[in-house]
Amino acid sequence: MSNQTLQQPRRTTCPYCGVGCGVMATPQAGDREADSPPVSGDKAHPANFGRLCVKGSSLHETTGSQGQTLYPRVLGSRVSWDRALDEVAGAIREAVESHGPESVAFYLSGQLLTEDYYAANKLAKGFIGTPHVDTNSRLCMSSAVAAHKRAFGEDVVPGCYEDLELADLLVLTGSNAAWNHPVLYQRMKAADRPGRRVVVIDPRRTATAELADLHLALKPGTDTLLFNGLLVWLADTGALDRGYIEKHCQGFDEALAAARCGAFAPQQVARACDLPEQDVVTFYRWFADTARTVTAFSQGINQSSTGTDKGNAIINCHLATGRIGRSGAGPFSLTGQPNAMGGREVGGLANTLAAHMEYDTPGARERVGGFWGTDRIPRAPGHKAVELFDAVHRGEIKVLWVMGTNPAVSLPDSSHIREAMKHCPVVIVSDCIARTDTTELADILLPAEGWGEKDGTVTNSERCISRQRRFLPAAGDARADWRILAEVGKRLGHGDAFRWATAADVFREHARLSALDNDGARQFDLSSLAHLTDDQYEQLSPVQWPVNGKHPRGCARLYADGRFSTNDGRARFVAVQPRVPAAQPEQAGEVIINTGRIRDQWHTMTRTARSPRLVQHRSEPFIDLHPDDVVHLGLEAGGLARLTGRNDQGAFLGRVRAEPGQRRGEVFVPIHWNGQFSLGALASSLIVPVTDPISGQPESKYGVVSVRPVHAAWHGRLIRPMSAPGGWQADYWTRVPQAHCDAWWVAGCQPVAWQRQVIRWLGGAPDLVLEDSASGLYRAARLHNGRLQGVLLVARRADDLPDTGWLSSLFDGRTLSDQERRGLLSARDVDVADTGPLVCSCFGIGELQIEAAIREGADDVEALGHRLKCGTNCGSCVPELKACLAAARAEPVEAIP
Ligand SMILES: Nc1nc2c(c(=O)[nH]1)N[C@H]1C(S)=C(S)[C@@H](COP(=O)(O)OP(=O)(O)OC[C@H]3O[C@@H](n4cnc5c(=O)[nH]c(N)nc54)[C@H](O)[C@@H]3O)O[C@H]1N2
Ligand SMILES: Nc1nc2c(c(=O)[nH]1)N[C@H]1C(S)=C(S)[C@@H](COP(=O)(O)OP(=O)(O)OC[C@H]3O[C@@H](n4cnc5c(=O)[nH]c(N)nc54)[C@H](O)[C@@H]3O)O[C@H]1N2
Ligand code: SF4
Ligand SMILES: [Mo]
Number of domains in the chain: 6
Q: Which run of H or E residues covers position 78?
A: strand 77-78
Identify whether residues 607 and 638 lie together within a single domain.
Answer: yes
For residue 647, pLDDT beyond 80:
no
Structure confidence by residue, pLDDT tens digits, 854-874: 998 999 999 999 888 888 877
Task: Give me the helix-helix angle, 114-121 and 481-491, nearest 10°.
Answer: 20
CATH number at residue 450: 3.40.50.740
Q: pLDDT category, 827, cuts 50, 70, 90?
A: confident
Pick the closest to residue 710 from 731, 727, 692 (CA basis).
731
Ligand 4 centroid–CA 109 distance in Å is 10
Q: 136: Cβ below 6 Å to ligand 2?
A: yes
Ligand 4 centroid–CA 224 distance in Å is 21
Q: 128: Cβ below 6 Å to ligand 3?
A: no
For residue 895, pLDDT beyond 60:
no
Q: pLDDT category, 2, cuts 50, 70, 90?
A: very low
Identify whether residues 723 and 862 lie together within a single domain.
Answer: no
Examine residue 292 and state whether it is found in any structural domain, yes or no: yes
Structure confidence by residue, pLDDT tens digits, 431-487: 999 999 999 999 999 999 999 999 999 999 999 999 999 999 999 999 999 999 999
- Percent helix, strand, coil in the chain, to 5, is 35, 20, 45
Cβ distance 215 to 197 under 8 Å? no
Tell me what the mean pLDDT of segment 689-716 comes to: 97
Ligand 1 centroid–CA 778 distance in Å is 41
Q: 299: Cβ below 6 Å to ligand 2?
A: yes
The predicted pLDDT at position 3 comes to 41
The predicted pLDDT at position 834 comes to 72
Identify whether residues 403 and 508 lie together within a single domain.
Answer: yes
- Tell me which residue has its CA closest to atom 1 in ligand 1: 599
Q: Which one of the ligands is nearest to 607 CA?
A: 2
Q: pLDDT category, 532, cuts 50, 70, 90?
A: very high
Examine residue 190 and state whether it is found in any structural domain, yes or no: yes
Identify whether residues 221 and 235 lie together within a single domain.
Answer: yes
Structure confidence by residue, pLDDT tens digits, 774-791: 889 999 999 999 999 999
| Ligand 2 pocket: which of 55, 68, 69, 111 to mutate (most atoms within 8 A of CB) | 111
Identify whether residues 181 and 59 lie together within a single domain.
Answer: no
For residue 838, pLDDT beyond 90:
no
Domain boundary among 643, 675, 710: 710
Average pLDDT, the chain: 94
The predicted pLDDT at position 784 comes to 93
Structure confidence by residue, pLDDT tens digits, 248-272: 999 999 999 999 998 899 999 999 9
- Tell me which residue has its CA closest to atom 11 in ligand 1: 336
Domain boundary among 47, 64, 81: 64
Tell me what the mean pLDDT of segment 637-645 comes to: 95
Identify whether residues 26 and 53 lie together within a single domain.
Answer: yes
Domain range for residue 246? 142-333
- Tell me which residue has its CA closest to atom 23 in ligand 1: 596
Q: 302: Cβ below 6 Å to ligand 1?
A: no
Identify whether residues 357 and 270 lie together within a single domain.
Answer: no
Identify whether residues 750 and 703 lie together within a single domain.
Answer: no
Identify whether residues 350 and 416 lie together within a single domain.
Answer: yes
**Could you list which residues have their CB under 5 Å from ion ligand 4?**
140, 336
Examine residue 805 and state whether it is found in any structural domain, yes or no: yes
The predicted pLDDT at position 35 comes to 59
Examine residue 827 and state whether it is found in any structural domain, yes or no: no
Ligand 3 centroid–CA 3 distance in Å is 30
Q: Which residues contact 228 (CB under 8 A, 6 or more apart)?
A: 258, 259, 262, 264, 313, 576, 578
The predicted pLDDT at position 1 comes to 35
Q: pTM for the complete prediction?
A: 0.93
CATH number at residue 156: 3.40.228.10
- Tell me which residue has its CA closest to atom 29 in ligand 2: 404
Q: 733: Cβ below 6 Å to ligand 3?
A: no
Which atom of ligand 3 is nearest the CA belonging to 14? Answer: 8
Examine residue 830 and state whether it is found in any structural domain, yes or no: no
Tell me what the mean pLDDT of segment 379-389 comes to: 97
Which atom of ligand 2 is nearest the CA belonging to 607? Answer: 42
CATH number at residue 683: 2.40.40.20
The predicted pLDDT at position 612 comes to 87
CATH number at residue 883: 1.10.10.1100
Q: Strand, helix or coil at 871?
A: coil
Q: Which one of the ligands is nearest to 334 CA?
A: 1
Ligand 3 centroid–CA 45 distance in Å is 12
Q: pLDDT category, 29, cuts 50, 70, 90?
A: low
The rounded percent of the chain whose pLDDT value lies above 90 is 85
Identify whether residues 386 and 520 lie together within a single domain.
Answer: yes
Count helices and strands (H / E) in the chain.
30, 36
Ligand 1 centroid–CA 176 distance in Å is 6
Structure confidence by residue, pLDDT tens digits, 535-568: 999 999 999 999 999 999 999 999 999 999 999 9
Q: 111: Cβ below 6 Å to ligand 2?
A: yes
Q: Exposed, middle or buried: residue 224 (CB in 10 Å: 0-12, 13-18, 19+)? A: buried
The predicted pLDDT at position 31 comes to 57
- Tell me which residue has its CA closest to atom 12 in ligand 2: 140
Examine residue 412 and state whether it is found in any structural domain, yes or no: yes
Examine residue 556 and state whether it is found in any structural domain, yes or no: no
- What count of residues does the chain have? 897
Cβ distance 686 to 655 under 8 Å? no
Identify whether residues 474 and 526 lie together within a single domain.
Answer: yes
Q: pLDDT category, 33, cuts 50, 70, 90?
A: low
For residue 402, pLDDT beyond 60:
yes
The predicted pLDDT at position 768 comes to 93
Q: Which residues contact 514 (CB under 8 A, 6 or more apart)?
A: 345, 355, 356, 522, 524, 525, 526, 527, 530
Pairing of strands 768-772, 777-784: antiparallel
Question: Strands across the sheet with 214-216, in order?
Answer: 214-216, 197-201, 169-173, 293-297, 330-333
- Tell me which residue has its CA closest to atom 2 in ligand 3: 17
Domain boundary among 710, 726, 747: 710
Identify whether residues 184 and 234 lie together within a single domain.
Answer: yes
Structure confidence by residue, pLDDT tens digits, 46-104: 999 999 999 999 999 998 888 999 999 999 999 999 999 999 999 999 999 999 999 99
| Ligand 2 pocket: which of 107, 432, 436 to mutate (most atoms within 8 A of CB) | 432
Q: 548: Cβ below 6 Å to ligand 1?
A: no
Instruction: Give the Cβ contact number of residue 710 at 10 Å.
Output: 16
Q: Strand, helix or coil at 11?
A: strand
For residue 831, pLDDT beyond 90:
no
Ligand 2 centroid–CA 139 distance in Å is 10
- Tell me which residue has its CA closest to atom 14 in ligand 1: 336
Q: Which one of the ligands is nearest to 297 CA?
A: 1
The letter for the amino acid at 129 is G
Tell me what the mean pLDDT of segment 721-746 comes to: 91
Structure confidence by residue, pLDDT tens digits, 589-604: 999 999 999 999 999 9
Structure confidence by residue, pLDDT tens digits, 305-333: 999 999 999 999 999 999 999 999 999 99
Tell me what the mean pLDDT of segment 380-406 comes to: 98
Ligand 4 centroid–CA 17 distance in Å is 8
Structure confidence by residue, pLDDT tens digits, 172-217: 999 999 999 999 999 999 999 999 999 999 999 999 999 999 999 9
Which atom of ligand 2 is nearest the CA belonging to 686? Answer: 1
Q: 21: Cβ below 6 Å to ligand 3?
A: yes
Ligand 3 centroid–CA 19 distance in Å is 6
DSSP codes of every residue in 124-137: IIIII----EEEGG
Phi-psi region of 49 (alpha: psi -120 to 50; beta: other; left: phi over 0): left
Examine residue 850 and state whether it is found in any structural domain, yes or no: yes
Sign of CA dihedral 14, 20, 24, 29: positive
Q: 15: Cβ below 6 Å to ligand 3?
A: no
